[in-house]
Amino acid sequence: MIKNIILDVGGILFDDSKDNIEKILGKDCDYIYKTAYGKEFKKCLLGKLSIQEYINSFQNEKDFNDIKYILEKDNLKKSYPLIENNFEFIKKLKKDGYKLFLLTNITEDSYNYINSIININYMFDGGIYSYQEHLIKPSYEIYNLVLNRFSLNKEETLFFDDKEKNVIVANELGIKSFIFTALYACSDEFHQLFISGRAGQIRDVCIDSTGALIMLLIIYFILKRKDKKIGS
């Protein structure tokens, strides 16, 4: 019987996508996004470097102001917004009696921000945060940590993440894991209208949104089917 659900934050509860950054800046942000969240950003996720120190390292970058804008904690409500449809779905899982846990690569600033939005201690039964533990997905250690700290039985636990590499490692460790599709697809095409050289397509909005909704329904019925099968 499935009793526990472990969730990532970025891409599931909050939108950390390049599409969102392009929407708020109104331009192509491929370089800006890759630069802001490059290899050195890992030090922030591991709690070894503050976001402000990280921002200061870009002072000679031509796109410094844009990089600073998307990283500063005061702007996270725009650069890292809550995915409300997904949050409603997670609240339904809680209401249905599942124990919910977070397992996320996250900076201290982002943790404080999301806690102010969704009240982590109320919504979730526990969490493992990379900046606190100095561990990062997809290391085996961080998955074992969440299982051991909260005494979770693998057979009773599901894990959802938006990145394939994280799901692969979790499955290797025997945790039933799936890639979670977020429900912000319907806005992705709209913001293309404001970016030079791009064109939003209603057809793509419908396809993306329908696909995301189907994914959520599949997850819901997976849970119900597992519970029914074991209880029969």
33, 27 contact by CB (below 8 A): no
Which tens digit of pLDDT belongs to each residue from 90-120?
A: 898 899 899 999 999 999 999 999 999 999 9
pLDDT at position 143 is 98
| Lookup: tokens for 52 | 């402000």
pLDDT tens for residues 20-45?
Answer: 999 999 999 999 999 999 999 999 99
The mean of the pLDDT values for the chain is: 84
**Above 60 in pLDDT, residue 211?**
no
Count the alpha carbons within 13 Å of 135 in the hemisphere toward its beta carbon. 14
The whole model's pTM is what? 0.80
Q: Where are the alpha helices (DSSP H) in the chain?
A: 18-25, 30-36, 41-45, 51-56, 64-71, 76-79, 84-95, 108-118, 120-123, 130-133, 140-149, 164-172, 185-192, 202-231
Q: Could you tell me the residue ranges of all domains in the chain? A: 4-17+82-231, 18-79
Does the pLDDT at position 190 exceed 50?
no
Beta strands 126-129 and 157-161: pairing type? unpaired
Instruction: Please report the pLDDT score of residue 200 as a whole number.
Output: 40
> Residue 129 half-sphere exposure, CB side, CA atoms within 13 Å?
18
Q: Mention the CATH class of domain 4-17+82-231.
A: alpha beta
